[in-house]
Amino acid sequence: MTSATSFSETARLSLTRALGKNWTLFLLRGIAAIIFGAVSLIWPGITLVTLVLLYGAYALVDGLFALFAGIMGKVALAPRWWLVVIGLLGIGAGIGTFVWPAITALILLFFIAGWAIATGLFQVVGAIQLRKEIENEWLLIINGVLSVLLGVALFVMPGAGAVALIWLIGSYAIIYGILMVSFAVRLRKY
């Protein structure tokens, strides 16, 4: 075995261990998404202001957990910038939502759509960068693709009613959360 191969294998194992040590951050992101989705489906008739605040809380919590996951790793062998970007986008989306709670339904729709597309693209990029370092990166890729598809659907069909939007976002959040929890559980073994 060459020293380059040995270093590559050592780097992969170190990254896997570093991600494994922070598996709970991915788990918390997934749980936050599931809770947000369930609340959205249980109370679909909530007012737009409540939806705005609920979305803002979810985006802020998800962003904080992603940012934490991006900066908590002690091993700098693989780029984690995509987690930092996702975290900053989520925090920005959450704070922006709280600063302007009387936002209109159309602006909220485009805000959520843009956030979903940007987050999804960065997750796909991050998963592709990690594909040689960890197993089951396809869970992050599916999450990213789902985010992009949700964002595109919201941009293409902006006239959807508020209740339909709540159901769409709630369903997406639950699926996203389940996939994130699955990824976290798989990381736990490392």
Give a three-class secondary structure readout of 122-171. HHHHHHHHHCCCCCCCHHHHHHHHHHHHHHHHHHHCCCCCHHHHHHHHHH
Is a pLDDT exceeding 70 seen at residue 117?
yes
Is a pLDDT exceeding 70 seen at residue 128?
yes
- 33-42, 96-105, 125-134: which range is least confident on average? 96-105
* Higher per-residue pLDDT: 115 or 18: 115
Determine the pLDDT at residue 3. 55
What would the pLDDT profile of 63-82 be if each residue is shown by its tens digit? 998 898 888 865 555 677 88
What are the CA-CA distances from residue 138 to residues 1, 12, 39, 55, 103 (Å)?
A: 29, 17, 27, 26, 35
Determine the pLDDT at residue 142. 93
What would the pLDDT profile of 160-189 be if each residue is shown by its tens digit? 655 677 788 889 899 999 999 998 998 888
